């Protein structure tokens, strides 16, 4: 059985582990910390700037989507959608037409796939919307959402504030606190009882994403039915419940399928010095109790680029890859890393590892550095994920392609 070590516990690392175990590999996932899912909206952005299915074939050949190939994206998304469906967290959408979802700032987020409870807020549907905040929750301002959506020409009714059946709170509730309350059947019954008379005439209601953590689909469906209207969630500031729900689902699924998970240690790569061509022999985990070695047939890096430590920007002007010190594509000179205005495209966004179509990191000679080393996700050079609206799509496509290339 092929043994794979996947480094990184974000969307990319979790999915790569699941793809690999599904193909019969023995998988260990090691992550120093949590990935970025709880900082995201929980949707799968493929190409926010235009219709993904049309835009992707026109990208330059060095873009991660072109290298991974359209089929990897399609199959990876299908796989992810099936997983979510089986786990009772259905995702809606496709790459032929982006959803247009309201954000907590009243801007419009375009995404290919979204959890059903968010997708019901799709602004392509003309059913007028009312936006409600809930008493005591400070991280959501319905008036702001309404004012900005109106400016964008969206048919929107009103903003209102709804009470919650909370006992005397001892601190400001966060989204997580409220989600835990919504997991409770008795609490939901009370919410439905208190809200229903205040919502007469409303057809579609948007609320902050707080409707449960452990069984959000049940909470959402039940409330919709009891209130007699379409109800949708809008992601809030991190920790984002939709991102957290997806993270929980993927972690649970990975472990159920047999992935062994090690959380906490920083990972360094181990090179087999005697092999020709060069190979990695595994990784070294830096734990509190000392170094621990894991041997592997294949190592896959899903360490997420600069935001999560896959790339380290150093004071001396060097950008270093954190596991094997692989060559990084970046501009020499710190003054070139950022653009003058935060609104411009940031050069650093494109930095990362250059890879071939098998997702193998390349050296200066354009050849794979190690025959059994692969990478995926935010670590790969050549995409401004934030500007393109492509973060999650690149993670899915490259994770799928890397595992396919590694395991055949
Ligand atoms: C600061 C920040 C802001 C973000 N903002 C947004 C946003 O506005 N919108 C949005 O959609 N998404 C946002 N994200 C999430 C972003 O979508 C994901 O980070 C991105 O999709 C890349 O996913 P990934 O799985 O490739 O890597 P990540 O999700 O970044 O995961 C990387 C993983 O690698 C691990 N790791 C890194 N180096 C090592 C090492 N040497 N040893 C062991 N483990 C290691 C990390 O601990 C982590 O588990 C943000 C993330 C961060 C960190």
Block residue for tokens 């949707």: 43
Structure token pair of residue 191: 């919410």
At 388, phi and psi to the nearest 5? -80, -25
The answer on pLDDT for 282 being more than 80 is yes
Q: Which residue has the higher pLDDT, 317 or 393?
A: 393
Domains in the chain, number: 2
Q: Quick one: pLDDT band at residue 283, thresholds 50, 70, 90?
A: very high
Closest CA to 167 of 184, 150, 146: 184
The CATH number that applies at residue 284 is: 3.50.50.60
> Separation of 318 CA from ligand 1 center, angstroms?
20
Q: Does 276 lie in the same domain as 228? A: no
Q: Considering 189, 213, 234, which residue would you say is the last residue of a domain?
A: 234
Q: Which residue lies with its CA nearest to atom 27 of ligand 1?
A: 304
Closest CA to 12 of 57, 72, 102, 87: 72
| Residues 6 or more apart in contact with residue 343 via CB below 8 angstroms | none
Q: Which residue has the higher pLDDT, 167 or 105?
A: 105
Q: State mean pLDDT over 250-254.
A: 97
pLDDT at position 334: 86
Closest CA to 131 of 93, 159, 155, 109: 159
> Separation of 126 CA from ligand 1 center, angstroms?
35
Is position 43 within any domain? yes
Q: Does 283 lie in the same domain as 193? A: no
> Separation of 185 CA from ligand 1 center, angstroms?
34
pLDDT at position 167: 64
Q: Does 401 lie in the same domain as 254? A: yes
Is position 128 within any domain? yes
Q: Does 366 lie in the same domain as 263? A: yes
Q: Rounded CA gap, 277 and 373, in Å? A: 12
Q: Quick one: pLDDT band at residue 57, thresholds 50, 70, 90?
A: confident
Q: Considering 181, 201, 234, which residue would you say is the last residue of a domain?
A: 234
Q: Does 308 lie in the same domain as 202? A: no
CB 299 within 8 A of CB 372: yes
Q: Does 230 lie in the same domain as 255? A: no
pLDDT at position 169: 64
pLDDT at position 318: 92
85-121 pLDDT, tens digit per residue, is: 999 999 999 999 999 999 999 999 999 999 999 999 9
Q: At what angle do helices 70-86 and 11-22 cross, to 10 degrees?
A: 90
The answer on pLDDT for 170 being more than 80 is no
Q: Does 144 lie in the same domain as 79? A: no
Q: Quick one: pLDDT band at residue 277, thresholds 50, 70, 90?
A: confident
pLDDT at position 63: 97
The CATH number that applies at residue 125 is: 3.40.50.1860
Above pLDDT 70, what percent of the chain?
A: 99
Q: State mean pLDDT over 292-299.
A: 96
> Separation of 41 CA from ligand 1 center, angstroms?
13
> Separation of 304 CA from ligand 1 center, angstroms?
5
pLDDT at position 275: 83
The answer on pLDDT for 166 being more than 90 is no
Q: Rounded CA gap, 284 and 268, in Å? A: 5
Q: Which residue lies with its CA nearest to atom 9 of ligand 1?
A: 40
1-13 pLDDT, tens digit per residue, is: 999 999 999 999 9
Q: Considering 234, 255, 285, which residue would you say is the last residue of a domain?
A: 234
Q: Rounded CA gap, 198 and 113, in Å? A: 32
Q: Which residue lies with its CA nearest to atom 48 of ligand 1?
A: 35
Q: Which domain holds residue 143?
A: 104-234
Q: Does 255 lie in the same domain as 359? A: yes
Closest CA to 5 of 355, 263, 275, 297: 297
Is position 300 within any domain? yes
Pocket of ligand 1 (CB under 6 A): 7-13, 30-36, 39-41, 266-267, 302-304, 307-310, 322-323, 377-378, 391-392, 395
Going by the DSSP 8-state scheme, the letter that residue 131 receives in this structure is: E
Q: Which residue has the higher pLDDT, 62 or 345?
A: 62
Is position 335 within any domain? yes
CB 198 within 8 A of CB 134: no
Q: Does 264 lie in the same domain as 402? A: yes
The answer on pLDDT for 43 being more than 70 is yes
Q: State mean pLDDT over 269-288.
A: 91
Q: For residue 33, which atom of ligand 1 is closest to its CA?
A: 47
Q: Does 151 lie in the same domain as 68? A: no
> Separation of 202 CA from ligand 1 center, angstroms?
39
Q: State mean pLDDT over 142-161.
A: 93
> Separation of 36 CA from ligand 1 center, angstroms?
4
Q: Is the pTM of this model over 0.85?
A: yes
Going by the DSSP 8-state scheme, the letter that residue 247 receives in this structure is: H
Going by the DSSP 8-state scheme, the letter that residue 57 receives in this structure is: G
Is position 98 within any domain? no
Is position 99 within any domain? no
- Between the alpha carbon of residue 239 and those of residues 46, 227, 244, 324, 347, the distances in Å are 22, 27, 7, 31, 27
Q: Does 85 lie in the same domain as 172? A: no
Is position 51 within any domain? yes
Among 5, 7, 10, the mutation site with the greatest number of ligand 1 atoms within 8 A of its Cβ is 10
Is position 298 within any domain? yes
Mean pLDDT of the chain: 94
Going by the DSSP 8-state scheme, the letter that residue 377 receives in this structure is: G
Going by the DSSP 8-state scheme, the letter that residue 274 receives in this structure is: T
pLDDT at position 257: 97
pLDDT at position 232: 98
- Between the alpha carbon of residue 152 and those of residues 233, 267, 335, the distances in Å are 19, 46, 36
Q: Does 365 lie in the same domain as 262? A: yes
342-392 pLDDT, tens digit per residue, is: 888 889 999 999 999 999 999 999 999 999 999 999 999 999 999 999 999
């Amino acid at each position: 059985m092929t043994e794979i070590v996947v480094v990184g516990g974000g969307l990319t690392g979790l999915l790569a582990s699941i793809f690999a175990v599904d193909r019969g590999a023995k998988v260990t996932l090691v992550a120093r910390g949590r990935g970025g899912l709880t900082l995201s909206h929980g949707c799968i952005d493929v190409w926010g700037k235009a219709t993904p299915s049309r835009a992707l074939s026109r990208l330059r050949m060095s873009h991660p989507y072109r290298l991974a190939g359209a089929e990897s994206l399609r199959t990876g998304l299908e796989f992810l959608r099936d997983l979510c469906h089986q786990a009772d967290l259905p995702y809606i959408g496709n790459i032929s037409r982006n959803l247009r979802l309201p954000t907590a700032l009243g801007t419009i987020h375009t995404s290919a796939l979204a959890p059903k409870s968010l997708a019901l807020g799709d602004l392509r549907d003309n059913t007028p919307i009312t936006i409600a905040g809930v008493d005591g929750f400070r991280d959501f301002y319905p008036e702001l959402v309404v004012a900005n959506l109106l400016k964008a020409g969206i048919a929107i009714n009103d903003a209102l504030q709804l009470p919650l059946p909370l006992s005397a709170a001892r601190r400001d509730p966060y989204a997580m606190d409220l989600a835990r309350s919504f997991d409770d059947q008795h609490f939901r019954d009370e919410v439905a009882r208190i809200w229903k008379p205040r919502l007469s005439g409303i057809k579609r209601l948007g609320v902050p994403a707080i409707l449960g953590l452990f069984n959000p689909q049940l909470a959402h469906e039940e409330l919709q039915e009891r209130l007699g209207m379409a109800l949708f969630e809008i992601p809030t500031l991190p920790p984002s419940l939709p991102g957290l729900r997806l993270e929980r689902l993927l972690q649970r699924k990975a472990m159920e399928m047999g992935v062994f998970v090690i959380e906490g240690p920083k990972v360094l790569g181990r090179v087999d010095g005697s092999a020709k061509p060069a190979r990695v022999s595994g990784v070294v985990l830096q734990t509190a109790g000392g170094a621990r070695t894991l041997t592997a047939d294949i190592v896959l890096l899903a360490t997420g680029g600069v935001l999560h430590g896959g790339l380290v920007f150093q004071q001396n002007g060097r950008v270093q890859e954190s596991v094997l010190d692989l060559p990084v594509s970046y501009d020499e000179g710190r003054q070139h890393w950022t653009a003058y205005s935060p609104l411009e495209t940031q050069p650093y966004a494109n930095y990362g590892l250059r890879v071939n179509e098998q997702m193998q990191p390349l050296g200066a000679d354009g050849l794979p550095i190690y025959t059994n080393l692969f990478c995926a996700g935010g670590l790969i050079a050549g995409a401004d994920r934030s500007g393109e609206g492509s973060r999650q799509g690149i993670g899915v496509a490259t994770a799928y392609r890397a595992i396919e290339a590694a395991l055949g």
